[in-house]
Structure formats: structure tokens, C-alpha cells
Amino acid sequence: MLKILNKLLFHLKNILLPILLMVTIYIVMFMFQRLEKNPFNGDFMEFIKIVFPFVLLIILNIINLVFKQNTIENNTYYNITSILVMITIGIFCYRAIFDSNMIFWHKYGYKLNFNYFSDQISSIKVMLYGLSLANIILMISNSFKIEENTKVNKNKNIKHNYHR
């Protein structure tokens, strides 16, 4: 049961993250347009600073997926936290695009609340960098397990040769 839940959460996280990245880029593009900034020219670094935490976590997720790292895939606590982060970022994006009760949603005529979203960017970064850091540490911890396994296998081989 727990294994199925972990698998579900792990893959849901991998699907949600690129979608959220796309929505964030969509909002940020309008935000840059209003501030007369060009994300592909002069203000590229500013754009990268917003997008980088997403890209970093996507890369780490791909590594987890390709190398099938059990400590992350079977870690229910980490997976639940990741999903909670995705849902919260999703709420940020949803409210920036659709919550018309906030005055700034109407004020600049873009039907988007940049003011709200730009205030949430720092918290998005904290959440995503936190997840990335935890992921990297779990990956290092996972590599210790592989070494232990190889050590056990080596011992087994020695014993096997001795009995021969």
C-alpha cells in the first residue's frame, strides 16, 4: 500500500514540476513585459534566478528516476512534502492568474497579479532549494548503501571461494 502511494507521489511530483515551471515562465514573461525587461537579453540573469530552482529540481528528479534511487523513491515523508510544495506553488500561480478579488489583478490591465506573484517568488525559491538540498543529501546517503551492498557481495564471494 505504502509502496503504491510512494510510487504515485513520486511520479505525480515529476509530472507537476515541469507544468509549474511553464506556468511560472508564463507569469514571469508578462511581469518582465510590464517592467520593460527582456529576459533573453539584458535581464537574463534575473530570469535565470527565478527559473533555476525549478530546473535544478527537475534535473535531480531525472537523476532519481534514471538511477532508481530507493532512498528518495520510497521516502514517504519527502514525497508528501514535495507534493505539498507543488500544490502551494500551484496555488500561488492560480491566484496570480485567476484571483480577481485582489485589486492589482485589475489595475494594470494584464488580468494577472504580478505584485502578488513577485512577493511569493522568494518563498518559492526557499521551498524548491530546500527540496533540492534534501534530495542531494539523500542521494549521497543512497550512494553509501551501494557501497555497503558491494562490500557484502565481496564478503560473500570470499566465503564462497574459501568453501571451494
Partner 1 sequence: MKQFIKNYLNLIAMSITGMVFVITSFYFIMNYYHSDEVKKVIYISENDYNYKTQRDKIKKINDNLVKFKSLNVKNKNYAYLENQLETCYNVMKDTGSLYSLEPNKYYSSYDVYKLGGKFQNSVLNICWALHLSYLKGDNLPDEVKEIGPFVTGNVKTITNRTRDALMELQNNSSYFFTTNVTSLTLRNYLESDYQAIASSYNDFADILLNLSEVINGGK
Would you tell me which residues interact with partner 1 (CB under 8 A)? 71, 77-78, 80-81, 84-85, 87-88, 91-92, 95, 99-107, 113, 115-116, 119-120, 123, 126-127, 130-131, 133-135, 137-138, 140-141, 144-145, 147-148
CB of 28 to partner 1, least distance (A): 16
Shortest Å, Cβ 120 to partner 1 = 8
CA-to-CA dists, residue 31 to 23, 121, 132, angstroms: 12, 12, 26
In angstroms, rounded to a whole number, what is the distance separating the alpha carbons of residues 60 and 143? 15
140-153 CB burial, b ≥16 within 10 A, e <16: eebeeeeeeeeeee
Of 38 and 136, nearer to partner 1 (C-beta) is: 136
With respect to partner 1, which residue has the nearer C-beta, 22 or 102? 102
- Shortest distance, CB of residue 163 to partner 1, whole angstroms? 27
